[in-house]
Amino acid sequence: MSSRVPEGSKNKFRVLLRRGCGLDKPGNHLTTFDVAVVAAKRSWEHIWAMKILVIGATRGIGLQLVQQALEGGHSVTALVRKPGNPIDDPQLRVVGGDILQAQTVEEAMAGQDVVCSTIGVKAGRGPITVFSEGIRNVIGAMKKHDVPRLENVSGIGAGDSRNHGGFFYDKLLFPLLMKRIYEDKDRQEEIIRASDVDWVIVRPGFLTNGAFTGDYRVVTKLDGVRARRISRTDVAHFILEQLRSRKYLRQTPLVTG
């Protein structure tokens, strides 16, 4: 009995494999080497699959991070104020709650390998404390459940990144609209720095809704540097890549275009 695969079946397999691996663009030719590389990549991703808690997962960087983490084979728990799955995926668990609710944060934290805080607020006139109070709850829950790693999204204007946004942002927008937000982000960063968890504070440049490029800069020495635009998708990509790396551990990298 012949063991040869019918030509039609082989062609169908190639089409599906090319499509699943992103190799179905015009001009791409799937070779034996391509198949081996893709298989090895997926095996590696499976071995390194993590349980990731994303706080602030319904929009912006948080939503992009959830999508990319699921595509990478990770299991994701999303802590959201308005329950309801932002994405339909069996590897996604949604917990309704708020970063200011310590009990809810602890519930979401149980069993995680890493937590990513991507929360944001709109500019306003009242006092802002959500960043500092929220991160206390996060770090407290991390200690309770032995979660070692924190990736926290801050922004341009926090800490030593202040005055690296250009004239319009530094002299007009920041003092008029962003000052209270970044006063609390400064408090948040101080709390993180004083903790004994492994942390990376990610400071994105000026965020856009652009597509993924993978073409961005990561800067830790800011002398002469001015932040530029970067897509939320690229920032999420950087955060996800850091989960397997210690390169920027206990640092505050500026991620910018």
Residues in the chain: 257
| pLDDT for the residue numbered 26 | 55
Along the 257 residues of the chain, how does pLDDT read in single tens digits?
333 434 454 454 455 445 555 555 555 555 665 655 555 454 444 457 999 999 999 999 999 999 999 999 999 999 998 876 668 899 999 999 999 999 999 999 999 999 999 999 988 778 899 999 999 999 999 999 999 999 999 999 999 999 999 999 989 888 888 899 999 999 999 999 999 999 999 999 999 999 999 999 999 999 999 999 999 999 999 999 999 899 999 999 999 99
Architecture category of domain 50-256 in CATH: 3-Layer(aba) Sandwich (3.40)
Distance of alpha carbon 246 from the chain centroid = 16
CB 81 within 8 A of CB 97: yes
| pLDDT for the residue numbered 83 | 73
| pLDDT for the residue numbered 1 | 39
CB 188 within 8 A of CB 155: no
The residue extents of the domains of the chain are: 7-18+30-47, 50-256
| pLDDT for the residue numbered 29 | 59
Contacts for 141 with CB less than 8 Å, ≥ 6 apart: 102, 105, 106, 108, 109, 147
* Spatial distance between the Cα atoms of 24 and 89, rounded to a whole number of angstroms: 24
CB 131 within 8 A of CB 117: no
Distance of alpha carbon 194 from the chain centroid = 22
Single out the residue of 242, 246, 239, 180 nearest to residue 56, CA to CA.
239
Three-class SS of residue 231?
strand
What residue ranges in the chain does DSSP mark as E strands? Answer: 51-55, 75-80, 92-96, 114-117, 149-153, 198-204, 206-208, 217-219, 229-231, 254-256
pTM above 0.85, yes or no: no
Residue type, 173: L
Cα angle: 226, vertex 228, 234; to 5 degrees = 130
Single out the residue of 251, 80, 43, 53 nearest to residue 160, CA to CA.
251
Single out the residue of 65, 72, 90 nearest to residue 80, CA to CA.
65
